Amino acid sequence: MSGEKRLHKTRNIGFMAHIDAGKTTVTERVLYYTGRTYKIGEVHDGTAVMDWMIQEQERGITITSAVTTCQWHDHIIQIIDTPGHVDFTIEVERSLRVLDGAIAVFCGVGGVEPQSETVWHQADKYRVPKIAFVNKMDRVGADFFGAIRQMAEKLGAKPLVVQLPWGVEDSFCGVIDLVAMQGIIWEDDGLGALFQYVSIPDELLTQAQEYREGLFERVAETDEVLTEKYLSGEAISEDELKRAIRKATVELKVVPVLCGAALKNKGIQPLLDAIVDYLPSPLDVPPVHGVNPQTKEVQQRRSDESEPLCALAFKIMMDQGRKLTYVRVYSGVMETGKVVYNANQWSEERVARIFEMHAKQRKRIEQARAGEIVAVMGLKDTSTGNTLCDRAHPILLEPMEFYKPVISVAVEPKTNQEQDKLSFALEKLSEEDPTFQVRYDEDTAQTIISGMGELHLDVLIKRLVEEYNLAVNVGRPQVVYRETIKRAADVEGRFSKVIDDVPHSAEIHLGVIPHARGKGVEFTSEVPPEEIPQEFLNAIQAGVQESATVGALTGYPLTDIKVILKGARYTQDEFTPMVLKVAVAQTLREACQKGTPLLLEPVMELDVIVPEEFMGEVIGDIQGRKGSVESIDKKGKIAMIKAHPPLTRLFGYSTDLRSITQGRGTFSMRFSHYDKAVT
């Protein structure tokens, strides 16, 4: 198969959803019906192929994104199954960075749930075309049209209904295909492999005709040729309609919506057809853009084997002590035994082996071509977000953004002899996960690990036991605080020091003012450029960023302040950046003390779903935790509560909520912002 034809028939897609929407269940059916697996794996049995980690099987959730490849109607579909729990949202972020399309799975009962919003907006950030699949249509309370309304209202999406459910709850037996205008019904053989196309039943025909008319109208709005045909009353063929839907989907103008019941093996084959028909190939998406690290010129790479190599390392994984680097190849060819250039590290690395992955199983291949997602062994210095390219044609892709951890615990080995082993294991885990950070506290002589939530840290601590045979003692969770100031302050500082018998002195005039929440530390200069050399300004700015890591109140990092340089003077001919940085640190600290320092704590966005009869107790409990209740939405006998409590008051909330609601309440939370610490 030629390079262009192979790319045309390639789909790089990911499954994303809120936890328990059935995303991994859908993926397992996709693997079975495409012939990739010989039996259907189940999440609840711990037999799901894509949930291969021991903890994923024990907990029944996806923790790490898994990669696999399958085929459907002579198309190659490369799949990444991502976690649905907010603590592992980095896995979704870095997967979406390298995908061309995504399937958002929604629960037919829950509709657009909190983490659904997060992953949807992550996909929007990277302009990833999407298909929506409303799952669990066989469940009591399933509401297909309610889920579509929520997509429009909560996500700002433009859902395009291409299927209708045939029945609902216990009577759900198939779907109505509005593009082909026929019914698809599954035979109850237990595995869902047998289905047939039938005429639409009379009781659903009027509704189907109404929604098909709406489908034509929506699609015609996005295509001039179809608009003319539609307005003139000309017939529009099924192929023309599919091409128009595909074009509108790729251009992010619509989101085709399908439905099914994955656990009952219904609706998966039409979803595979939709992946092939509507989601983009690597040729359909714009070329990747980057910067030449030497000339700083903006460059691009098309999805073409003849272009210079350009690839992005998006995930690191330790497999039996060996480092596997997951890579998306955007252009060119990567070959076993050849050298690649790491544009971030300014260094060369040798590709020892290349693997096509199927969850944890590996198949050795000799080369990876444009459009492929593979795992590479031998890249010692490459980390998540690094660009791999041809040294003769270097390019640096936009770096990946990582979330900051919000919760910390102290860990120590059971015996002093295992301290080095612990340090090694933590280093390897932090290399895999950019949202997991490790530091050594000199004051307390403790090793502090930080992550995105209690579950995140619990999983990592269990991995120390299972993968590194290392039991540890764990301290009580500690919150990562921040500091800011209440009011503006202005300070002129002076620093002098004799270095190698030469006196150096610097004078710095800084102003600090409180900034809006979430703005971080912003630096600006009011000194005219001609009055300050650029190297002075660079050293001052670096000094501000470095000294902002330690606040004036309790030593927590500074945030939400604006630092203004109003004047600077340096008295020695031979410039020493360190002198300026020390002067800046002293002046900034004094300015923050003068500006009345304020302690900030992380505030979480908490979403709780409970039966209506427990609503009052749950709200009272949230308010008792100093949380502000933002909204209460009722859907039948279910109440959805959105609140903003401080993280410090949420330790053990899972147990407390189960107790209050007799085990019937569920919740999810994510970091929202830093705000004044409550006492």
| The pLDDT of residue 40 | 58
Q: Which residue has the higher pLDDT, 305 or 227?
A: 305
Note the pLDDT tens digit of each residue in 107-150. Answer: 998 888 877 877 888 888 889 999 999 999 999 889 999 999 99
Cβ pair 673, 518 in contact under 8 A: yes
Segment among 239-253, 372-386, 639-653, 657-671 with least mean pLDDT: 657-671
Asked whether the predicted pLDDT for residue 151 surpasses 80, the reply is yes
Q: What is the mean pLDDT of residues 59-64?
A: 58
Q: Which residue has the higher pLDDT, 459 or 360?
A: 459
Asked whether the predicted pLDDT for residue 1 surpasses 70, the reply is no
How big is the chain, counted in residues?
679
| Per-residue tokens: 71 | 């085929």
Torsion angle of the four alpha carbons 524, 529, 533, 537, in this order, in degrees rounded to the nearest 10: 0
Q: At what angle do helices 238-250 and 224-232 cross, to 10 degrees?
A: 140
Note the pLDDT tens digit of each residue in 263-273. Answer: 888 999 999 99
Residue 21: name the closest of 63, 52, 62, 70 by CA.
Answer: 62
Asked whether the predicted pLDDT for residue 87 surpasses 70, the reply is no
Asked whether the predicted pLDDT for residue 651 surpasses 60, the reply is yes
| The pLDDT of residue 163 | 96
Residue 422 CA to residue 434 CA, distance in Å, equals: 18
Note the pLDDT tens digit of each residue in 359-399. Answer: 778 889 999 999 999 999 999 989 888 999 999 999 999 88
Cβ neighbours for 590, distance < 8 A, ≥ 6 positions apart: 491, 493
Q: What is the mean pLDDT of residues 609-613?
A: 84
Positions of E strands within 120-190: 130-135, 159-161, 163-166, 174-177, 182-186
Segment among 95-109, 279-293, 474-488 with least mean pLDDT: 474-488
Asked whether the predicted pLDDT for residue 402 surpasses 50, the reply is yes
Residues of the chain with pLDDT > 90, as a percent, come to 41
At 258, the pLDDT band (50, 70, 90 cuts) reads very high
Q: Which residue has the higher pLDDT, 59 or 406?
A: 406
Mean pLDDT, the chain, whole residue set: 86
| Per-residue tokens: 166 | 């045939």
| The pLDDT of residue 18 | 80
Positions of E strands within 366-442: 367-369, 373-377, 387-389, 396-397, 407-413, 437-441
Q: What is the mean pLDDT of residues 472-476?
A: 83
Number of separate helices (H) and strands (E) present in the chain: 16, 38
Residues of the chain with pLDDT > 70, as a percent, come to 92
Residue 44 CA to residue 55 CA, distance in Å, equals: 13
| The pLDDT of residue 45 | 47
Residue 318: name the closest of 90, 53, 93, 85 by CA.
Answer: 53
Asked whether the predicted pLDDT for residue 62 surpasses 80, the reply is no
Cβ pair 30, 46 in contact under 8 A: no
Q: Which residue has the higher pLDDT, 535 or 198?
A: 198
User: Which DSSP category does 393 fall into?
Assistant: B
| Per-residue tokens: 459 | 């999983």
| The pLDDT of residue 410 | 85
Asked whether the predicted pLDDT for residue 283 surpasses 80, the reply is yes
Q: What is the mean pLDDT of residues 335-359?
A: 92
pTM of the entire structure?
0.71
Other beta carbons within 10 angstroms of residue 267's beta carbon come to: 27
Q: Which residue has the higher pLDDT, 106 or 474?
A: 106
Asked whether the predicted pLDDT for residue 444 surpasses 70, the reply is no
Q: Which residue has the higher pLDDT, 395 or 403?
A: 395
> Would you list the DSSP string of 457-512?
HHHHHHHHHHHH---EEE---EE--EEEESS-EEEEEEEEEEETTEEEEEEEEEEE
Residue 106 CA to residue 145 CA, distance in Å, equals: 12
Terminal Cα-to-Cα distance of the chain (whole angstroms): 67
Q: Which residue has the higher pLDDT, 367 or 502?
A: 367
